[in-house]
Structure formats: C-alpha cells, structure tokens
Amino acid sequence: MPRATAWGTLAAVMSASAGPPRGLRGGVALAPLTTFELGGPARWLVEAGDAAAVVDALRWARERGLPVTVLGGGSNVVVADSGVDGLVLRVVACGVAVEAEAGGVLVTAAAGEPWDALVERCVGEGWAGLECLSGIPGTAGATPIQNVGAYGQEAGDTIERVRAIDRASLEVVELGARDLGLGYRTSTLREQPDRFVVVSVSFRLRPAGSPTIAYPELANALAVERHPPSLAAVRRAVLELRRSKSMVIDPADPNRRSAGSFFVNPVLAPHELRAVQERSLAAGIDEAVPSFPAGGDRRKVPAAWLIERAGFGKGHVAGRVGISTRHALALVNRGGATTGELLGLARGIRTRVGELFGVRLRPEPVFLGFPPGDPLEGGEAG
C-alpha cells in the first residue's frame, strides 16, 4: 500500500497559503501543448515546478470545487474541442538523482524530466533497462501511467517506485511496483486518474548490463552488427526504426501531428485468435493472421495489420485528418483539423475492424475534457 513520507508533511506545511497558486493562468490554449495540436483551451492552468506547487494548485482547486486534469508532455493525449473545464495541472519539475546500490543503480527522475533525454543519459552511462524506449516523446512522469513500452521493453520492467501526491490527503506517498498495477499500456494510475499526481519515478537499472533484444524487428535491424550490440547501438537502431515510421518528433515531418500509436494491439485468447483467422479467410484475406506471445497462451495481434486489411492503409485521407504515410497505427492531424474529425476517423476504423474481424480496438491515448465513458462511442464533448 502507498505510504506517506516526510516530504509529504513538508509539502503540506509549505502550501498553507490560501491565495492563488503561483503561475495561475486562465483561458490557456492546450493544442500547442500537445503533439496532436488539437483541442480547446483550459479554463485554468498551472505549471508546477515542485511538490509544494502541486499541493498549492490542488488545494486551490478543491476550495473552489474545480475538477483537476493532469497534463504531462502532451504526446499521448486527445483534448476535446470544447477544452478542459476546471484546472489543468502540468508538473514541469526536472532533475535526476542517482543512487548506486548493490547489483544496480537507482535513477530517480522528476516528473517533468524529458523522457528521451533521460534514456540518452542512462545509455551513455552504460545503465541497461531503458534503451529500447529511446525516442518516445513525453516526460518521465507519464511512463508509469501508460506503462510505456516499445521493441520488447516496458517501463514497468525497471520501475522501482513512484512518488506522487495523494489528491485526497495532499501528502506525498510512495507507490511500489506492486501498487501500480502495471499491465499492457495501463496501470492503476491510468485507471484511477483522480487519485494521484506523479512527482517522480525511480528506475532500477543494470550497470554494464546487456541490452534487451527481444523484438524481431529490432533483432533484424541489429543483425549487421559483427559483435554483440552495445546499449548505444540498440538506441541508434531503435531511433532509426522509429524515425522510419515518423515516431520521432520532427517539425519537418508531415506526419508529426500525431500521438503515435492510436490503438493498442489486441491481446487474444486462443479461441479468439482462431475466430479472427476464420473471419479473415472468409473475407478473402489469404494470409495467416500475425501474432506474438503475450503471456501464457495469449497472443498479441498487430492492430496495424487489422487496420490495413480493413481498408485503412498508410496515407489514408479523410479531409483534414488521416493515417500516417509511414505507419497505419498513427492517426494524424493533417493541419487545421478538429478533435471531432479525428474521432470520426477513429470510430470508422474501429467499426470496420470490428465488423470484419470481430475485434474491438482499444484507443491508447488519454482523453481530456470528455465525459466519462468511451469517447469513440458517441459525439465529441460540448
């Protein structure tokens, strides 16, 4: 269970002021703070540089009965066209602390620390455990929420603990890996977004450890290496693979207005996978449905394969939105679009995949400013 820390008591004392939190702004456009560049404004916004500032902002909102929405680096969110009511809180605190321990090193990053900069430093120091997560946009504080993963590695493989503000008590608590409920692109932090605000994340890494090479595409990319690949070689290969799919932020890339993979790869039981194969053959698709181990007897099916066979290929255009020319899983704002248009395309994709394969795709981004429930079920918020 999470436990309060002395830091939490200090934060509560420091935030005794009843005045407005530092840096409070009203009517702030959120689209420029997201990689999709979509959505309306925040009624109020605070950028908190430390735990005390987070507590100040939470207390101020509570006293006024305002909902609080946490926004990180904006790389995995969809903001409603109507914007976000209440207070939007961004934790922008940066910094990295390193503790050497027997058999490992504990790297603690403040929630606002840019993620790829942290990975680059760890690779440069020879600390294994994050190398396959190179090039992912966003901040360190978001990694346990989504249990960020790529190329056979997940943040949850190395997360030791998370420090967070308990929104009920306004104390800092420590959450161990077991408290986080880490799963495939999910966690208790994502499932219970109104409970905690992450302020730092600690990763246990392996000094001089071997890189993780578990993903076939990455292994193929590294096959030209004459010697066992270094962490740096794995990072370079991952960055190149991501760049080839427009999965690295590049202002010159026409596919840049995206949140990366929009749908999660479905994980299916054996009978479900057989049903998908039968439906595929009945639809005249004369190829085996690709799948990969996902624990036990379950298999992971690439959502991109399902989407393309359902008629939504790379470069698909639907007005001002579309699909990336380089990756069928990435929906893009082609310029000047609305969130409503984006969701219209996503609904069309999910409906067609469901009709053809009997698989219900689950969106990966976090949706801000929407009513409770599945945002792909009905119309856009307000």
Active site residues: 185, 261, 364
| CA distance linking residue 188 with residue 4, whole number of Å | 18
Closest by alpha carbon to 133, among 265, 231, 254, 244?
A: 231
Residue 30 has φ and ψ, to the nearest 5°, of -95, -25
**How many CB atoms neighbour CB 66 within 10 A?**
15
Beta bridge partners of 5: none
Element (H, E) at 11: helix 6-14
Element (H, E) at 121: helix 115-125
| CA distance linking residue 25 with residue 45, whole number of Å | 5
Beta bridge partners of 22: none
**How many CB atoms neighbour CB 25 within 10 A?**
11
| CA distance linking residue 194 with residue 168, whole number of Å | 9
> Which residues, other chains included, contact 95 with Cβ-Cβ below 8 Å and sequence gap of 6+?
109, 110, 113
> Which residues, other chains included, contact 209 with Cβ-Cβ below 8 Å and sequence gap of 6+?
126, 127, 128, 129
Residue type for position 129: G
